[in-house]
Amino acid sequence: MSTPEKTTDNGVNVEALLDARKALSEAPEAAQFMWRAKCEWVKGTHSRSTVEGFFGLGEEQMHKTKFTFDADHPEVFASEDHGATPVEIVLAGLASCLTAGIASVAQLREIQLRSVSATVEGGMDIQGILGMDSDVRPGFDGIKVTYKIDADATPDEIKAIVAQSQKRSAVFDVVTNPTNVTVEVN
């Protein structure tokens, strides 16, 4: 059995995740999830999104509490700055997804993390969103994530964890690959 000094605890229940993977390989239909958010316009560019329920493991699921995200634009956009801009929320989502992946992969590889911090930058030419130049896309022209990680591992082991986290990250996939989006008005 494992000795006490070898115990790695990044707070990730890897056993549960591995059990889930095994269970889902026998019942792949339970792996079908649907994530949802609701969004209400407040005023101006200010909106409030909430997430509460989602579907997965064959049934409706609920978060422990309802989570709320205010989004707005800063005063340089002549807005009132009631919340982060939506693109900043995307950056936060990317960093959170990669960081959760880093903790999980490190746990699986029995590598103890002491600290993990990321800086995310997304460059954008706002001529795109202002409709000034049709050659400029509205979205990011590139995203850079910089990690600082303190862990019981070699630099290459840490790089391998970060690489594996990107490979398995849903948000990394969403931002690096095209997704069909359907927007309807009812």
Partner 1 sequence: MSRCLADRSIDHVVLERGEVAHTWKNERWDSLRLLTPNWQSRLPGYGYEGDDPDGFRTMSETIDFIERYADVISAPVRTNTSVTSVRSIDDGYRVTTNQGDWRCRTVVIATGACNVARVPAVAEGVPSSIATLTPIQYRNPDQIEQGGVLVVGASASGTQIADEIHRSGRPVTLAAGEHIRVPRVYRGKDIKWWMDVAGVLDEFYTEVDNIDRVRNVPSLQLAGSDDRHTVDLNSLTDIGVKLIGRLAGMTEGKAQFSGSLRNLCAMSDLKMNRLLDRIDEWAAEHSFDGEVSPPHRFEPTRVEASPPLGMDLTNGEIQTIVWATGFRPDHSWLDMPVFDRKGRIRHDGGVVEAPGMYLMGIPFLRRRKSSLIDGAADDARDLSAHLASHLDGRISSPCA
Q: What is the DSSP string of 117-156?
A: EEEEEEE--TTTTTTS-TTS-SS-SEEEEEEEEEESS-HH
* 167 is a site residue for partner 1 (CB under 8 A): yes
Which residues ranging from 17 to 76 are in contact with partner 1 (CB under 8 A)?
A: 28
Other Cβ atoms within 10 Å of 94 Cβ, number: 23
Stretch that binds partner 1, among 45-53, 61-69, 72-80, 156-164 (CB under 8 A): 156-164
* 177 is a site residue for partner 1 (CB under 8 A): yes
Q: Quick one: 97 exposed, middle or buried, by C-beta within 10 A (0-12, 13-18, 19+)?
A: buried
* 139 is a site residue for partner 1 (CB under 8 A): no
Spatial separation of the C-alpha atoms in residues 47 and 69, rounded to whole Å: 8
Residue 7 and residue 109 in contact, taking contact as beta carbons nearer than 8 Å: no
Spatial separation of the C-alpha atoms in residues 175 and 136, rounded to whole Å: 18
CB of 71 to partner 1, least distance (A): 24
CB of 177 to partner 1, least distance (A): 4
Stretch that binds partner 1, among 1-9, 40-48, 127-135, 158-166 (CB under 8 A): 158-166
* 159 is a site residue for partner 1 (CB under 8 A): yes
> Which of 17, 163 has the CB closer to partner 1?
163
Contacting positions for partner 1 (CB under 8 A): 28, 141-142, 156, 159-160, 163-164, 166-167, 172-173, 175-178
